Amino acid sequence: MAVYTDISETDLAAFLRDYDVGELLSYKGIAEGVENSNFLLHASSGAYILTLYEKRVNPDDLPFFLGLMQHLSDRGISCPLPVRRKDGTTIGQLAGRPAALVTFLEGMWMRRPTVEHCREVGAALAAMHLAGSDFSLRRANALSVSGWRPLWERAKPRADEVAPGFAEETEADLAFLEANWPADLPVGVIHADLFPDNVFFLGKRLSGLIDFYFACTDLLAYDVAICLNAWCFEKDNSFNLTKGRALLGGYTTVRPLSDREAGMLPVLARGSALRFMLTRLYDWLNTPEGSLVVKKDPLEYLRRMRFHRQVRSPAEYGLEPQGATA
Amino acid sequence: MAVYTDISETDLAAFLRDYDVGELLSYKGIAEGVENSNFLLHASSGAYILTLYEKRVNPDDLPFFLGLMQHLSDRGISCPLPVRRKDGTTIGQLAGRPAALVTFLEGMWMRRPTVEHCREVGAALAAMHLAGSDFSLRRANALSVSGWRPLWERAKPRADEVAPGFAEETEADLAFLEANWPADLPVGVIHADLFPDNVFFLGKRLSGLIDFYFACTDLLAYDVAICLNAWCFEKDNSFNLTKGRALLGGYTTVRPLSDREAGMLPVLARGSALRFMLTRLYDWLNTPEGSLVVKKDPLEYLRRMRFHRQVRSPAEYGLEPQGATA
**CATH code of the domain containing A218:** 3.90.1200.10
Tell me whether residues A32 and B29 touch, CB distance under 8 A. Answer: yes
Domain boundary residue, one of B51, B70, B102:
B102
- Do A97 and A120 sit in the same domain of this protein? no
Out of A4, A107, A289, the one facing B290 most closely (by C-beta) is A289
Q: Collect all residues of chain A within an 8 Å Cβ-Cβ radius of residue B32.
A: 28-29
Tell me whether residues A27 and B108 touch, CB distance under 8 A. Answer: yes
Give the model's pLDDT for residue A294.
64
User: Number of C-alpha atoms within 13 angstroms, CB side, residue A19?
Assistant: 26
pLDDT at B292 over 60: no
Residue B326: inside a domain: no
- Do A284 and A136 sit in the same domain of this protein? yes
Residue B110: inside a domain: no
Tell me whether residues B292 and A6 touch, CB distance under 8 A. Answer: no
Return mean pLDDT, chain B.
Answer: 93
Type of residue at B320? E
Read off the CATH number of the domain in which B16 is found.
Answer: 3.30.200.20
Out of B29, B42, B104, the one facing A106 most closely (by C-beta) is B42
Give the model's pLDDT for residue B296.
81
Tell me whether residues B4 and A31 touch, CB distance under 8 A. Answer: yes
Nearest CA in chain B to A114: B10
Number of domains in chain A: 2
pLDDT at A190 over 50: yes
What confidence category does residue A288 fall into, taking pLDDT thresholds of 50, 70 and 90? Answer: low
Give the model's pLDDT for residue B325.
44
Tell me whether residues A26 and B110 touch, CB distance under 8 A. Answer: no
Residue A324: inside a domain: no
Residue B73: inside a domain: yes
Give the model's pLDDT for residue B242.
98
- Do B196 and B272 sit in the same domain of this protein? yes
- Do B142 and B259 sit in the same domain of this protein? yes
Tell me whether residues A292 and B288 touch, CB distance under 8 A. Answer: no
Q: Per-residue pLDDT averaged across A45-50, rounded?
A: 97
How far apart CA A20 and CA A9 sit, in angstroms, is 17
Domain boundary residue, one of A70, A102, A134:
A102
pLDDT at A293 over 70: no
- Do B219 and B120 sit in the same domain of this protein? yes
Q: Collect all residues of chain B within an 8 Å Cβ-Cβ radius of residue A31.
A: 2, 4, 28-31
- Do A213 and A276 sit in the same domain of this protein? yes
Residue B209: inside a domain: yes
B44 touches chain A (CB under 8 A): no
Give the model's pLDDT for residue A34.
67
Q: Which helix (H) or strand (E) holds A40?
A: strand A37-43
CA distances from A306 to A42, A146, A316 (A): 47, 21, 14
How far apart CA A300 and CA A287 sit, in angstroms, is 18
Which residues in chain A (167-186) have CB-CB distances under 8 A to chain B?
Answer: none
A19 touches chain B (CB under 8 A): no
Q: Collect all residues of chain B within an 8 Å Cβ-Cβ radius of residue A24.
A: 108
Question: What phi and psi values does residue B102 have, to the nearest 5 degrees?
Answer: -130, 160
Tell me whether residues B112 and A30 touch, CB distance under 8 A. Answer: no
pLDDT at A324 over 60: no
How far apart CA B227 and CA B129 sit, in angstroms, is 13
Nearest CA in chain B to A44: B106
Q: How far is B2 from chain A (nearest CA, A)?
A: 9
What confidence category does residue A289 fall into, taking pLDDT thresholds of 50, 70 and 90? Answer: low
Return mean pLDDT, chain A.
Answer: 93
Instruction: Please list, in sequence order, all residues whose beta carbon lies within 8 angstroms of the beta carbon of residue A125, skipping any fewer than 6 positions away.
Output: A191, A194, A223, A224, A227, A251
Q: Higher model confidence: residue B3 or residue A168?
A: A168
Measuring CA to CA, which residue among A273, A260, A264, A281 is closest to residue A305? A273
How far apart CA A104 and CA A88 sit, in angstroms, is 20
Residue A108: inside a domain: no
Nearest CA in chain B to A31: B29
Asked if A50 contacts A27 with a C-beta cutoff of 8 angstroms, the reply is yes
What confidence category does residue A290 fall into, taking pLDDT thresholds of 50, 70 and 90? Answer: low
Measuring CA to CA, which residue among A38, A125, A32, A113 is closest to residue A77? A125
Q: Per-residue pLDDT averaged across A124-144, rounded?
A: 97
Tell me whether residues B291 and A290 touch, CB distance under 8 A. Answer: yes
User: Number of C-alpha atoms within 13 angstroms, CB side, residue B184?
Assistant: 6
Asked if B48 contacts B81 with a C-beta cutoff of 8 angstroms, the reply is no
Out of B31, B289, B291, the one facing A29 most closely (by C-beta) is B31
Q: Higher model confidence: residue A71 or residue A293?
A: A71
Asked if A141 contacts A207 with a C-beta cutoff of 8 angstroms, the reply is no
A13 touches chain B (CB under 8 A): no
Domain boundary residue, one of B80, B102, B124:
B102
Q: Collect all residues of chain A within an 8 Å Cβ-Cβ radius of residue B10.
A: 111-112
Residue B152: inside a domain: yes
Q: Tens of pLDDT along B273-285?
A: 999 999 999 888 8
Q: Where are the beta strands (DSSP E) in chain B?
A: 24-30, 37-43, 46-52, 92-94, 97-103, 108-109, 187-190, 199-202, 205-209, 216-219
Q: Collect all residues of chain A within an 8 Å Cβ-Cβ radius of residue B47.
A: 42
Q: Higher model confidence: residue A322 or residue A280?
A: A280
Instruction: Please list, in sequence order, all residues whose beta carbon lies within 8 angstroms of the beta carbon of residue A212, skipping any fewer than 6 positions away.
Output: A65, A68, A69, A79, A191
Give the model's pLDDT for residue B321.
84
Residue B322: inside a domain: no
pLDDT at B140 over 70: yes
Type of residue at A235? K
Give the model's pLDDT for residue B213.
95
Tell me whether residues B111 and A6 touch, CB distance under 8 A. Answer: yes
Size of interface A-B (CB pairs under 8 A): 93
Give the model's pLDDT for residue A2.
47
Q: How far is A321 from chain B (nearest CA, A)?
A: 34
Q: Tens of pLDDT along B25-72?
A: 999 999 876 678 999 999 999 999 999 998 888 999 999 999 999 999
What confidence category does residue B21 fall into, taking pLDDT thresholds of 50, 70 and 90? Answer: very high
Domain that holds residue A311: 115-317
Tell me whether residues A111 and B6 touch, CB distance under 8 A. Answer: yes
A291 touches chain B (CB under 8 A): yes
Dihedral of alpha carbons A70, A73, A77, A80, sign? positive
A109 touches chain B (CB under 8 A): yes
Q: Per-residue pLDDT averaged across A117-131, rounded?
A: 98
Q: Collect all residues of chain B within an 8 Å Cβ-Cβ radius of residue A27.
A: 108
- Do B279 and B140 sit in the same domain of this protein? yes
Give the model's pLDDT for residue B301.
94
Beta-bridged to residue A97, according to DSSP, are: A94
Q: How far is A223 from chain B (nearest CA, A)?
A: 26
Tell me whether residues B26 and A110 touch, CB distance under 8 A. Answer: no
Q: Per-residue pLDDT averaged across A144-165, rounded?
A: 93
Q: Per-residue pLDDT averaged across B251-255, rounded?
A: 98
Q: What is the pTM of this model?
A: 0.91
How far apart CA A118 and CA A76 sit, in angstroms, is 20
Type of residue at A259? D
- Do B313 and B257 sit in the same domain of this protein? yes
Share of chain A above pLDDT 90, in %: 86
Q: Per-residue pLDDT averaged across A198-222, rounded?
A: 96
Listing DSSP states for B127-163 in one string gives: HHHHHGGG-------TTSHHHHHHHHHHHHHHHTTTS
Q: Residue B236 carries which DSSP code?
A: T
Q: Which of A292, A293, A296 to mutate to test the interface with B (most CBs of B within 10 A)?
A: A292
pLDDT at B2 over 50: no
- Do B79 and B152 sit in the same domain of this protein? no
Q: Collect all residues of chain A within an 8 Å Cβ-Cβ radius of residue B78.
A: none
Q: Tens of pLDDT along B304-315?
A: 999 999 999 999
What confidence category does residue B326 fall into, taking pLDDT thresholds of 50, 70 and 90? Answer: very low
User: Number of C-alpha atoms within 13 angstroms, CB side, residue A291?
Assistant: 14
- Do A200 and A277 sit in the same domain of this protein? yes
Measuring CA to CA, which residue among B138, B146, B273 is closest to residue B215? B138
- Do B33 and B142 sit in the same domain of this protein? no
Give the model's pLDDT for residue A57.
87
Give the model's pLDDT for residue B291.
54
Nearest CA in chain A to B288: A290
A146 touches chain B (CB under 8 A): no
- Do B232 and B255 sit in the same domain of this protein? yes
